[in-house]
Amino acid sequence: MAISHAAKDILKYKNRPILDARHMLVLSLGTGESKKEQRYSAAKSSEWGMTTWIYEGGRTPIIDIFSDASSDIVDFHVSTLFQSINCMGNYLRIQEDSLSGDAASVDIATNENLQKLAEIGRNLLKEPVSRIDVDTGRFQNVEGEGTSTDALITTMLATPNKEGKPMFAAKDINNFYFAHLPKIFPQNR
């Protein structure tokens, strides 16, 4: 969305520079998905009528499928764009794709479920940076880039050098982050 808005601005105002993804830092925060929860099968859904596609077993298959496909396609497209110009570090997607049970539902806002989701988010930040393999469409951990926290800090604090690339690596900022964590994210508000 953000890239589209930047491109639209460039088209609207002729004096703006040409859109160059090498000068962009994109942080994409996912809402979580239940991909590993095999809810539908091709064999079973091939027998469905129109009503079952709309509502089946307390779920809405057609909406679930379109929602999952939409976020996957956008992520794959943006990741491919940045990888094609050798600027993989300029795009960070943080997404949990193995939610199950209540955590996988967008409409269960109980205190217990919100606490569970917060814990999932904290654990996700400790996971290694991963990126879509454009050949397989699957996420692969990226060696040498640290955790999602490391990458997030780098993205937030990225200062470009003369070549337009980030001046700091995530592993260099890690010690700064943990030393200043209580000031950055105070627990008592």
Q: What is the pLDDT of residues 134-165, one digit of tens each?
A: 888 888 899 998 998 888 777 666 667 777 77
Q: How confident is the model at residue 189 (pLDDT cuts 50, 70, 90)?
A: very low
What counts of helices (H) and strands (E) characterise the chain? 7, 4
Let me know the angle formed at the C-alpha of 22 by 72 and 32, rounded to the nearest 5 degrees.
Answer: 25
Helix 148-157 vs helix 170-184: angle between axes, to the nearest 10 degrees?
90
Question: Which residues face 140 on adjacent strands?
Answer: 131
Give the integer Cα–Cα distance in Å for 124 and 94.
8
Q: What is the pLDDT of residue 159?
A: 64
Task: Measure the CA–CA gap between 37 and 86, rounded to whole angstroms.
Answer: 34
Query: Taking 90 as the threshold, does the pLDDT of residue 52 lie above it?
Result: yes
- Evaluated on CA atoms 100, 59, 138, 91, the torsion sign reads negative
- Domains, in order of start, for the chain: 25-184 (3.40.1090.10)
Share of the chain above pLDDT 70, in %: 77
pLDDT tens column, 159-186: 677 777 766 666 666 676 677 767 655 5
What is the percent of the chain where pLDDT is above 90? 11
CB atoms closer than 10 angstroms to residue 159? 8
Average pLDDT over residues 53-70: 85
Instruction: Look at residue 93 in the predicted model and tell me its pLDDT.
Output: 87
